[in-house]
Each structure stands twice: as C-alpha cells, then as structure tokens.
Structure 1
Amino acid sequence: MGRRPAALRAAGLALAGALVLGTATVGWAYWHLNHNIRSVDINSALGDDRPARAVTTPSAPVSAAASPLPAGALNILVLGSDSRSGKANRELGGGDSSGARSDTAMVVHIDAGRTRATVVSIPRDTLVTRPSCPLASGGSTSVAYGTMFNSAYAVGGPVCAVKTVESITGVRMDHYIEVDFSGFAELVDALGGVDVTTTQNIDDDESHLHLQAGPHHLDGKQALALARTRHGIGDGSDLGRIGLQQTLVKALLEQLGGTGLLTDPARLYRAADAITAGLTTDTGLDSLGELMRLGQSLKGLTAGHVRTVMMPVVTAPSDHNRVIAKEPAASELWASLR
C-alpha cells in the first residue's frame, strides 16, 4: 500500500511539471512571436495632415463574454520589400536596409462587415508627385514631381510610403503591413506550398523561374520568384508581374482557408513564426494580440469575395517605360474605397 501513494505523488509531480513546462512553453512562444514583429509609429510621424478616417460601423460581438470584434471598413497598405538585412534575404535576392525598395504595393480595402475586400495594386513604375515626408533623423524630404512611386519607400521608409499613397489616392491608410522576402517564402513553406495556375509560359533567368503554362505546386522560393518575375512574361513591364501577384494572393487565401492550421498547433506556430519574423507594421498592429484580433474579424472573408484590380494607368508621355494614373478612372476607383 505504501507504494501506491508514492506512485500517485510521483505521477502528480510529473503532471504538475508537465503543466508548468507547457505553460512556460506557451508563454515563451507568445513572447517570441510578439518580439518578432517590428513596428513604425506612422500616426505620430504624419500627425493630422491626412485624409479623414472612414466612418466606422458598430463592432460585431463574438459572444457575451468576449470583447466585440471591429466590423468597420478598413484600408491597409501592404508592401513587399527587400528592406531587411540578413543572409536569408540576400540569398533570395534582397538587399540590406540601406538599399531598401518596395517591390510590391497593394491597398487592401475591407468593406464594412468585413466579408468582402478589394485589393488594388499600384505599379511601382507609376510616376507620381511624392510629397514632403518627415524623416526619423529629423527634417523632411523635398517634394518630388514626376518621380517613381517606389522611390517614396527608398527615401523615407514606411512613413513616406504611406504619405505618398494617401496623397495620390485621398484614402486614409488605417494600417501598414510590410513583408520581407524571407518571411514570405517561409510562410508559403509553412503552409505546405501553394497551388497556382499560370496562363502562359514563364522563362525568367533573373528570377530563376521557368514554368510551363498550367497548374503548379510551388514552394516558398518558387512562389517568391513568381511574385517578383517580370522579364519572362509579356513585355517585361511591372504590369505583367502584377497579374501574377494577384493570382498568387488569391491562391494563398484559398490555401489559408483549406490547410486546417487551427487544428494543428505545430503548423500554426510555424506559420505564425514565419509571418511575424518577416513583418513590419504600424503601432496599431504591432502585437500578436492585435494581429489575432484583426484575423478574427476577417473570419467571414473568403477568397471568393476578394476582388483584385490594378490602379488604372496609361503610358507616361515623358517616358514610354513608365506609367501615370489614368483619369478619371483612377480617381473614381479610389473614391469608391473611401
């Protein structure tokens, strides 16, 4: 009889140890994911000289015990960049922080109710008037006329990218999300790859991507190459690449909806680690809790209810290798998102 209480005590101690270890592991994982995220205080940098915020609608309650989730319309500027230094980014074709570029720019508009969205791609080769932007080091940049859109990020980082987008669209960006090369590739790998169908052959030695027209299952490195390729399709301009990026966005949304991440904690953690490790946000989204809250508010949004379009453009009269906004179509599109 003496052995049984001893055995029970040992089992109890082992269980208590496992619970403590499990709690510590969860706590460490949360801390790790939280500290992966980098942020920029865009609201403080830009102040009040910005477009008005969209009129919000009441929040949608989750349950009687839970805090209500936001349900108002939302505009998010999403940039893909090579701004992070590090071996992984360099191996994938990225640069260091001193050579930062925004390769991809999308304004994601989420309708009130958060069950439908419009993703508007802005060609990096668009000639714009870049406004004066505040610099972290003090002072500000000069206004630049007829300059390439992606120069905003190069000269003033996320703050100038947001201010330039708001200047040319008249639409307030509620949030900012930037994903670097390695973070994007690792996310695709954490999801088990992504299925896409290309409508034409792609033969691009610069991105090392060679695909025949048809269905493909791509790993992270291949998906990144697809998002960046431009020389192996169409006329080699940024406009052809945008079509591929939009196809990839839809495919990733479908992949996220069908992977069963929430029922597989190990895969969920790998995906979360990949997302947060390559992420820079505004200070309104710079915690795991805020990102989870945003994700929960979008649970009714499916790939079938996401519309992808490109800002209407025409060839620039001053340079046939550049484009400018096509009016009044561009202004009408932005007005529909306010």
Structure 2
Amino acid sequence: MTQATDAPPRSRKAPRRSSRKKRVFRVVALVLLALLLIAGGAGWWAYSHLNGNIDSVDLDQAIGVDNRPAKVVAGAQNILVLGSDSRAGANAELDHGDVSGARSDTAMLVHVPEGRKKATAVSIPRDTLVTRPECKDGDGKTVKTANRVMFNSVYSVAGPACVVKTVEQMSGIRVDHFVEVDFAGFKGLVDALGGVNVTIEKPINGGSGGLKLDPGTHRLDGTDSLKFVRTRHGYGDGSDLGRIGLQQEFMMAMLSEIKRQDTFGNPARLYKLADAGTKSLTTDSELGSLKGLSDFAQSMKGVDPDTMETIMLPVAYDKIDRNRVIAAEPQAGQLWEALRNDRTIPASAKKSPATGG
C-alpha cells in the first residue's frame, strides 16, 4: 500500500536530459555497493543461509576460456553490471507491456584502473543494434549468432553469460566480474525496511501497473515500489527517460532509508536486509559467496561512486531503423582501446552523434 506523508515536496531544478541519463548508472552502482556492504556486514551471522541466496554463473565454463579476450592490464578490473527486470511471475502486473521473460534494462561496463582509486562506467544503450555471438543458454542449448539484434534482447534469448560474451566481443575487453541486480529483489528489501519515502513532482496516473500517486511525498511498500520503478505510460510523456527518473528517485530514497535506520547497528534488521538483498543478486562464480562479495567490496572501497565518470557508448541513429542506434565509429573504437589499455579516454571518444554530445 502507499501512504501519503506530510513531508513537503523537495524543491529541485529539473535535471538536464544528459545528466539524468548519467545519474542512473551512478545509482545502480550505489545500490550494488549497498548490497555488497549489507552482505559483507552480515557475513558473520547465518553465513550458510545467506550464501545459498546468491546465484552465480561460471563465465569461463559458459563462454569458453579460448573464446575470451586476453587480460591486458593485470591490476585493472572490468565489471559488467546489469540492472535486470523480471517480466514474468511476480512482476506480471507491472507497466512493461506484453513482453515476457527478463531483459537487461540497464547495462554498464565499469572500468577500475590499476590502483583502484577511481572508476569509469560506460553505459550501453539498450536499443543498440549488436551482433549476438553464438552462445550456450542456461540449459546448455546452442543459440546461433544473429546480426542486428537489440542489445537488451541478448539476456532474454541466451542469458547473462551471453551478454558478457557480447560485450567482450564488441569491446575487446576481458570482463573480470559480472553482477546482476534484479529490480524484483527489492520488494523484500523495501518491506524489510518498513517502506521507503519517495517524492514526485508530477502525478502518476496508473498506466498498466495501476499505481496512482499525486505530487508530493509518499511511503511505498514493496509491492508499490515495484510498480513505481516500472511505471512508464502513466507518468510524464510515457518515455523511458521518465521511468529512469523514477528508478533514480526510488533507489536513492532506498539508500537514504538504509542510512537513516542505522541498519549496521541493528543485527536483526541487518540480517533481514541481507537476506532480501542477496536474493536479488546474480554474480560470476568468483563473487558467488559472501566471502567473495565481502573481499571484492573491500578491494573496491577506495572507489567513490559519486566521483565515477559516466560515459555513454558513442552511438549514431541506424540508417535503416531510426528507432535504433548503432555504435559510432571511430569514437567507440577509441573508447574501448583506451579502457583496454588503462589509458585516459580522449575527448573525441566521448562524443555521441545520436545525442549531439
């Protein structure tokens, strides 16, 4: 259920389109960091149970060692982060249209240079047309290569390992780790917190998910939080950009709630949150345990998500289908080469013809 509060709407300027697109990737990184810290902090308690919550994928086995790019800079780390949206079962009521299965709604390749004091996140637009390589799906069946497929469809057709293989093929960069954060997993996390306050400046008028909220501040339970982050047609102009804004709003509000409740000072609540949070994670096999997550979080503690440089993969509108984009060259090639070799990204590699940037 939703509950209106007496808190006044926050005063803020409308963000620029480019800033809003960039912030969502910082938000996903922040949520990932929060889950890692929750899992690591609770590792001393009920280790076996929490360990069993985490799904993992052996990338070398799924992709094949010989089919992967070589590591160029030993000390650097490349992490593929997916914000996935389950579109079946518990999420059938959400505002996503008539699409079944799951898709990777948010994808970014996070490059952490040697020394691990900063990070660069390259966002890959979900409508980018790519060549999907031959892959094995979750059942071990071969999925044949296909040209000109939408990037976010790779996940639903062939699973997360194939997304990793696709990114490695298009970038030439070895992906060291893979982390998937499922939006559906946040339902239990929100309920464990007792709800999350969100503030909106425009009304939400229902859409397929049926959520209706007036402008102002509302406290959402887990069920309505899921509807909130998936709202599209009932908010603003009905675009994905508006939905991204709502997802940002919710995720930042959830992090604020975790901090406000002093979660790490309350063992019972910490376990409850860790139980819910780890259920929303799928990782590569090296990170597929509380120890793996905790060690990884410790190794990355010098990286501040707020200072992360966010870059959108340079893209241009496809000449055949203007509703899709393709990687723009030579910019994309320059970007991938700089990251492969742990070098400063040239300004020319950050310009995207599709956005005029």
- TM-score, structure 2 length as denominator? 0.68
2:290 corresponds to 1:324: no
CA distance in 2, matches of 1:252, 1:238: 21
Superposition deviation, residue 272 in structure 1? 0.9
**1:45 aligned residue (54, 59, 62):** 62
Of structures 1 and 2, the larger Rg is shown by 1
Aligned partner of 2:208 in structure 1 is: 206
**2:80 aligned residue (63, 76, 81):** 76
Aligned partner of 2:159 in structure 1 is: 157
Where do residues 90-109 of structure 1 align in structure 2 (5 Å cutoff)? Answer: 90=92, 99-109=101-111
Superposition deviation, residue 82 in structure 1? 1.0
* Equivalent pair of 1:194/1:219 in contact (CA under 8 Å): yes
| Residue correspondences, number | 295
Aligned partner of 1:55 in structure 2 is: 73
Structure 2: runs of 5+ lacking an equivalent: 1-42, 341-357
Cα displacement string for residues 133-190 of structure 1 (whole angstroms, at most 9, x for unaligned residues): 1345445222211111122112211111111122223332212222334312222443
Superposition deviation, residue 191 in structure 1? 4.5
In 2 relative to 1, CA 102–76 (structure 1 residues): closer, same or farther, beyond 3 Å? closer
- Code of the residue aligned with 1:77 in structure 2: it is V
- Code of the residue aligned with 2:294 in structure 1: it is M
**Secondary structure at the counterpart of residue 66 of structure 2:** coil
Structure 1: runs of 5+ lacking an equivalent: 1-25, 58-71
Deviates more, 1:44-53 or 1:112-121: 112-121
Deviates more, 1:203-212 or 1:130-139: 203-212
Superposition deviation, residue 266 in structure 1? 1.4
**Secondary structure at the counterpart of residue 187 of structure 2:** helix
Superposition deviation, residue 307 in structure 1? 4.0
Deviates more, 1:194-203 or 1:293-302: 194-203
CA distance in 2, matches of 1:115, 1:221: 38
CA distance in 2, matches of 1:150, 1:309: 18
CA distance in 1, matches of 2:246, 2:331: 22
- Code of the residue aligned with 2:144 in structure 1: it is S
* Equivalent pair of 2:112/2:120 in contact (CA under 8 Å): yes
In 2 relative to 1, CA 280–156 (structure 1 residues): closer, same or farther, beyond 3 Å? same
Aligned partner of 1:134 in structure 2 is: 136
* Equivalent pair of 2:103/2:152 in contact (CA under 8 Å): yes
In 2 relative to 1, CA 73–42 (structure 1 residues): closer, same or farther, beyond 3 Å? closer
Superposition deviation, residue 274 in structure 1? 0.8
CA distance in 1, matches of 2:118, 2:104: 26
* Equivalent pair of 1:197/1:213 in contact (CA under 8 Å): yes
* Equivalent pair of 2:123/2:312 in contact (CA under 8 Å): yes
Cα displacement string for residues 180-221 of structure 1 (whole angstroms, at most 9, x for unaligned residues): 343122224435555666576554512444556676665444
Aligned partner of 1:143 in structure 2 is: 145
In 2 relative to 1, CA 310–90 (structure 1 residues): closer, same or farther, beyond 3 Å? same
CA distance in 1, matches of 2:226, 2:68: 33
In 2 relative to 1, CA 139–207 (structure 1 residues): closer, same or farther, beyond 3 Å? closer
- TM-score, structure 1 length as denominator? 0.71
Higher relative contact order (CA 8 A, sep 6+): 2
Cα displacement string for residues 26-45 of structure 1 (whole angstroms, at most 9, x for unaligned residues): 98821111111122211212
Where do residues 109-128 of structure 1 align in structure 2 (5 Å cutoff)? Answer: 109-128=111-130
- Code of the residue aligned with 1:53 in structure 2: it is K
Aligned partner of 1:295 in structure 2 is: 297
* Equivalent pair of 1:74/1:112 in contact (CA under 8 Å): no
* Equivalent pair of 1:94/1:181 in contact (CA under 8 Å): no
In 2 relative to 1, CA 334–191 (structure 1 residues): closer, same or farther, beyond 3 Å? farther
Aligned partner of 1:266 in structure 2 is: 268
**Secondary structure at the counterpart of residue 323 of structure 2:** strand
- Code of the residue aligned with 2:73 in structure 1: it is V
- Code of the residue aligned with 2:54 in structure 1: it is I
* Equivalent pair of 2:108/2:124 in contact (CA under 8 Å): yes
Superposition deviation, residue 271 in structure 1? 1.4
